[in-house]
Amino acid sequence: MTNTTLKPVLILGGTGKTGRRLAERLAARNIPVRIGSRSASPAFDWTDKSSWTGALDGVSAVYISYYPDIAVPGAAETVEEFARLAVNSGVRRLVLLSGRGEPEAQRAEEMVKATGADWTILRCAWFAQNFSESAFLDGVLAGQISVPAAEIGEPFVDADDIADVAAEVLSNEGHIGELYELTGPRLLTFREAVAEIARGSGRDITFSRVSPEEFKAELEAYGTPADIAWLLDELFVRVLDGRNEHLTDGVRRALGREPKDFSVYVRETAATGVWHVNL
């Protein structure tokens, strides 16, 4: 075991999709955690650099998840500044949640490596949970997903797998200097993913491909924050171009097992009732 058993692990985005799952897993291993969020004590806010020092005080390692996403302009420089502060504060172990095929994310990876920290990179595909915990839940509930997605396969990765890998690399030696590119075990187009959700939930959910301009207008109609709208446009229009249309063995290398299939995610999520609509 690493010295993370003696001091808490700071989990940035500790209330988010991967962060809260990671907190549960580390707690189950009797590893203390500190949640990094604006509502925590001490508070952490990416936009308030004065909050960084207090959040870092006395921690052994940091799980770095950047909000709203590491793909946004300026994210790499902010992550670098935080990572250097962490190392200068005596924190050696850094685990970075990164993104596949995103130039800004890859810049952040190199900057974290250059700090001299004991780093591990988790480079991730689209989360399956985007259909149940964030961007596309409203569309699922409305029975209509409209996005500017071409017929390109995406290896949706389950947030449970990401959290399992993060817990493993923060709990055990042997993962320092490793880059784990995490995908699910199967390529699906967005059309196919929506069809699986419709079948699994017993709902009538249709998929349609729209232009980037129509997509932006729809996001505005839903009241999507501007930074999230920019991010979704970036990911759909530029990143979802086929560059990530392949599977990787990151989950298997880190955990010694296969990643969770999208069909399992659908079955488990449908059972929670989150996609149920009361008529």
Higher per-residue pLDDT: 211 or 181: 181
Confidence category of residue 279, pLDDT binned at 50, 70, 90: low
Decide which of 3.30.70.100, 3.40.50.720, 3.90.1150.10, 1.10.10.10 is the CATH code for 3-125+158-183+246-259: 3.40.50.720
The 10s digit of each residue's pLDDT in 46-65 is: 999 999 999 999 999 999 99
- pLDDT at position 98, please? 98
- pLDDT at position 238, please? 78
Per-residue pLDDT at 5 exceeds 50: no
The answer to whether 249 touches 187, Cβ cutoff 8 Å, is no
Distances (CA, A) of 93 to 59, 171, 176, 215: 10, 11, 8, 40
Rg over CA atoms, the chain: 19
Average pLDDT over all residues of the chain: 93
Per-residue pLDDT at 1 exceeds 60: no
The 10s digit of each residue's pLDDT in 257-273 is: 999 999 999 999 999 99
Q: What are phi and psi of 176, to 5 degrees?
A: -70, 135
Is the link from the previous residue into 212 a cis peptide, with omega within 30 of 0?
A: no
For the chain, the structural domain boundaries read 3-125+158-183+246-259
- pLDDT at position 97, please? 98
